Structure formats: C-alpha cells, structure tokens
Amino acid sequence: MKKLSPVFFVLIILSFSLPFLNLSCGGSQYRLSGFDIAFGTTIPRGQGFSYGNNNEMQDFYALGAFILAVLGLLLSLMKSKQVKIYNIILSGVGVILMIFSKIGISRSTAYYLDKPPYYLLISYGVGYYLVLIFFILSLAFNAYLIYLTKKPQL
C-alpha cells in the first residue's frame, strides 16, 4: 500500500501536460498546458488579444507546485520513516499553491480588462483540476497511512 504514494506524484506530473488554462478573447482561443503556465510561454497576439506587455505568461505558484510534485516523487521513493509526513506537507503546500495559482491568474488577467476589447474569458482545464485532486488524494492517503501505523492495537 505504501507503493501507491509515488503514483500520486507521477499522476500530478503527468497532469501538467494536460490543458490547464483556456483563454478566449475577441474570437481567438488559446489552450495552455500546465508546463506552459509553470515554465512560461508567449501567447501569440491575434484579433485584439493581448496579455501583458509582451504576451508572456508564467505563474510561479504553478512552478512551485510542479517542483513539489517532483520532490514528492523523489521522497516517496526513499526509505525513511518520515517520508509520509514529508509527503503530507508537500501535498498540503501543493494544494495551497494551486489555489494561489488560480487566484493569481484571475487577478493578473483582470488587470487587462480595462483595455479594449474589455473581456477575456478564462476557464481552467482538466489538468488544473486533476493536479489539485491528486494533491488532495496524496495528502489524504499519506495521512491515512500514518493513522494506520499509530492506531492502538487491542
């Protein structure tokens, strides 16, 4: 059952390749993966679409969540008694970073809404939600493993 813990982190890393964010403005639509969001990408200008000064988008909270997933995978492959506790901490911080990522992206895009064309539709893709769900599942699973080891024997 302990070998299931690294699977959550592998699934989190794989989920970063899925669509994370969909941007739509003035007839142009752009789909960005979690890797695009975490490591940065340039969004091509088109039909009135502009994001920021250079149309560059990077979210450091998403990058932090990706780094935590890689660290969680490496830690869960180690043989140590504290691995479960570290995984709980990494998963909890990962959940917080993903929530901050969503807030940060929404705030940074809202800044550009005061310029024409006055609207930018943002929707979060399946990748974002899977990363969030797998971080929560990893947290719950590792907490359950600790509960099982600390459960008093009758």
3-state secondary structure of 66: helix
Question: What pLDDT is recorded for position 22?
Answer: 86
The total domain count for the chain is 1
Q: How many CA atoms lie within 13 A of 123 on its CB side?
A: 9
CATH number at residue 119: 1.20.140
Q: Is it the case that residue 113 has pLDDT exceeding 70?
A: no
C-alpha distances in Å from residue 99, one per residue of 77, 95, 133, 136: 27, 6, 12, 12
Residue that wins the pLDDT comparison between 120 and 153: 120
- Where residue 114 falls (left for φ over 0; alpha for ψ -120 to 50; beta otherwise) is alpha
pLDDT tens digits for range 11-58: 999 999 999 988 877 677 788 899 988 898 877 665 455 555 556 777
Query: What range does the domain containing 51 cover?
Result: 2-150
Percentage of residues of the chain with pLDDT beyond 70:
78
Q: State the Cα–Cα distance between residues 110 and 122, nearest whole angstrom.
A: 10
pLDDT tens digits for range 63-73: 999 999 999 99
Q: Measured in whole angstroms, how far is the alpha carbon of residue 53 from the centre of its chain?
A: 24
- Please state whether the predicted TM-score (pTM) of the whole model is above 0.85: no
